């Protein structure tokens, strides 16, 4: 029997309200944040299967394309990039794993047509933009929260659903290495194995399919490695040419190479998405709350993993981040 993650109804009325809306409404848009990761992709696929079990209509749409490394997940071909979305007015939009509407990118223009917006998230920085919001910053991942709906709604879990749950938790916990790894997340994944998930199959697809372009980009990033504040802060960057359209580059996880350096507390990785415009990933090991650091730069996330976007040349962007970090380390 899979892990019983039932929750107290009095304490979690909002999640039960979301379950009621799923049963009552008929026409859904399901979306998540830009720059999709394993948790967001798994969450939207899982919720789509839940909605479909009730005979509802659902469109899954994200701002960009699904990263190729997740094409082993059944149903990814049903995720519609925003550029291919046909005119559509949903009764309900469910926004997963996004702390604010801006994080959904261009899909935000469709969300505004919905009479009801549901936000399901595990980011403590969530700004409560939904009609109904359920945010649990203690959950390992958003897919773990969506999994609770299976219990609430009394749905039988399928092998495909189990794969989504397992993949989402594995991705957001760094294969059970990050501080958000919990007893619940481990127990849930163990039960997903009971339902037929093969951990080796997931690991092979996530970690053994890097493209040559990705390895070249990693080498280029590591060549820019710098340390500051007596080695407590490490940083590196990747120039725009490596992530331009046409290159098969997956930079997710690059920042984690910095975590392996002994003596560092904070790491950040700057990716130049467009000339003079950087996406920044921040990580910390023990005591620095990088959510606060990112928040000071217009971003957000979790205490040990956060991000933001900053305009400027690489030296200016780096200096802005270091100026904030000097009061933390």
pLDDT of residue 4: 47
Q: Give the 3-state secondary structure of 30-55.
A: EEECCCCCHHHHHHHHHHHHHHHHCC
**pLDDT at 195 > cutoff 50:** yes
**What is the pTM assigned to this prediction?**
0.91
Q: What span, in angstroms and rounded, lies between the C-alpha atoms of 218 and 213?
A: 9
pLDDT at 323 over 80: yes
Average pLDDT over residues 83-103: 94
Q: Is the pLDDT of residue 254 over 90?
A: yes
Whether the pLDDT of residue 194 is over 50: the answer is yes
Question: Is 322 or 245 the better-scoring residue by pLDDT?
Answer: 322
Please give the domain boundaries of the chain with CATH numbers for all domains.
13-206 (3.90.1640.10), 212-325 (3.10.310.30)
- Going through the chain in order, the beta strands assigned E by DSSP cover 27-32, 57-62, 79-81, 92-96, 116-121, 132-135, 226-228, 233-238, 266-274, 277-284, 300-301, 305-311
Q: What does the mean pLDDT of the chain come to?
A: 93
Alpha helices, DSSP H, located in 58-158:
108-111, 142-153
Return the closest-CA partner of residue 130 out of 103, 160, 157. Answer: 103
Structure confidence at residue 5 (pLDDT): 52
The DSSP output letter for 306 is E
Residue 324 token pair: 């904030």
């Amino acid at each position: 029997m899979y892990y019983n993650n039932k929750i107290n109804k009095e304490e979690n009325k909002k999640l039960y309200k979301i379950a009621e809306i799923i049963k009552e409404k008929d026409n859904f848009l399901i979306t998540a944040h830009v720059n999709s990761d394993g948790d967001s992709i798994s969450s939207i696929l899982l919720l789509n299967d839940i909605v479909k079990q009730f005979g509802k209509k659902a469109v899954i749409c994200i701002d960009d394309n699904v990263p190729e490394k997740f094409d082993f997940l059944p149903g990814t071909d049903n995720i519609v990039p925003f550029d291919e979305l046909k005119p559509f007015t949903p009764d309900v939009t469910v926004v997963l794993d996004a702390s604010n509407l801006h994080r959904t990118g261009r899909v935000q223009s469709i969300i505004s047509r919905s009479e009801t917006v549901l936000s399901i998230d595990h980011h403590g920085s969530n700004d409560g933009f939904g009609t109904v919001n359920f945010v649990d910053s203690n959950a390992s991942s958003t897919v773990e929260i969506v999994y609770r709906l299976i219990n609430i709604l009394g749905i039988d879990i399928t092998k495909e659903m189990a794969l989504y749950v397992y993949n989402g938790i594995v991705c957001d916990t760094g294969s059970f290495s990050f501080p958000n790894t919990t007893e619940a997340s481990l127990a849930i994944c163990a039960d997903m194995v009971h339902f037929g998930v093969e951990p080796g199959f997931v690991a092979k697809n996530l970690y053994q399919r890097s493209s040559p372009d990705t390895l070249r980009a990693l080498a280029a990033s590591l060549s820019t490695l710098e340390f500051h504040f007596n080695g407590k802060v490490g940083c590196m960057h990747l120039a725009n040419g490596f992530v331009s359209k046409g290159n098969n580059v997956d930079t997710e996880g690059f920042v984690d190479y910095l975590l392996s350096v002994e003596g560092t507390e904070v790491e950040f990785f700057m990716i130049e998405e467009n000339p003079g415009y950087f996406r920044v990933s921040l990580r910390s090991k023990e005591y620095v709350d990088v959510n606060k650091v990112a928040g000071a730069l217009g971003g957000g996330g979790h205490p040990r993993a956060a991000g933001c976007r900053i305009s400027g040349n690489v030296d200016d962007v780096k200096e802005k981040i270091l100026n904030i970090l000097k009061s933390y380390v």
